[in-house]
Structure 1
Amino acid sequence: MIVNATEFKTRAGKYLEIVDKEEVIITRNGKEVAKLIPIKNQGTPNADFLYGLLADKEKKDVTAEQIRDERIKEK
């Protein structure tokens, strides 16, 4: 669901109930600025993506520092 910031501020409680069923994207001036997701669905999709940056690593037991160092080397 997409909602503008003014509507979200006015009816925040409503959207806190809706977020149990679907993500809520909040816009300001027509641009997406935030995403409200249920805490029970939080995960690590971004971290999973970062593991792909270390293609030469066979295992995923990689530290944040290793990921950061690999990112720096790519630049």
Structure 2
Amino acid sequence: MVITVTELKQNLDKYLRLAETENILISNNGKILAMLSNPHADRIAMANALLGVIPADITLEEALMEKANNSL
């Protein structure tokens, strides 16, 4: 999403909340100046990728136990 500096100033709270889930590009006179983003976006993406590996029919604790047993 691209917004202007003026829009950001007028609705800062709104865009800070949105930045938790998506990148917000800030422009001035048509030029992108900055980006608001979640500082933990890399960790969130990694967690989502790893959760996709765990079968749906076992709990997280069971998956961790299985991993611990396999690494011995």
Instruction: Specify the TM-score bucket, using the shorter chain as the normaliser.
Output: 0.5 to 0.7
Separation in 2, partners of 1:36, 1:17: 10
- Provide structure 1 residue ranges, at least 5 long, that are not aligned to the other structure: 44-75
TM-score (normalised: structure 2): 0.55
Shift of 1:20: 1.1
Shift of 1:18: 0.4
TM-score (normalised: structure 1): 0.53
Paired residue type of 2:29: N
Deviation per residue, 1:39-64 (Å, 9 max, x gap): 11258xxxxxxxxxxxxxxxxxxxxx
- Provide structure 2 residue ranges, at least 5 long, that are not aligned to the other structure: 44-72
**Following superposition, which runs of at least 4 residues in structure 1 exceed 4 angstroms of deviation?**
none
SS of 1:20's partner is coil
Aligned residues: CA RMSD: 1.4
| Residue equivalent to 2:20 | 20
Separation in 1, partners of 2:42, 2:5: 22
Q: Across the two proteins, how many residue pairs are aligned to each other?
A: 43
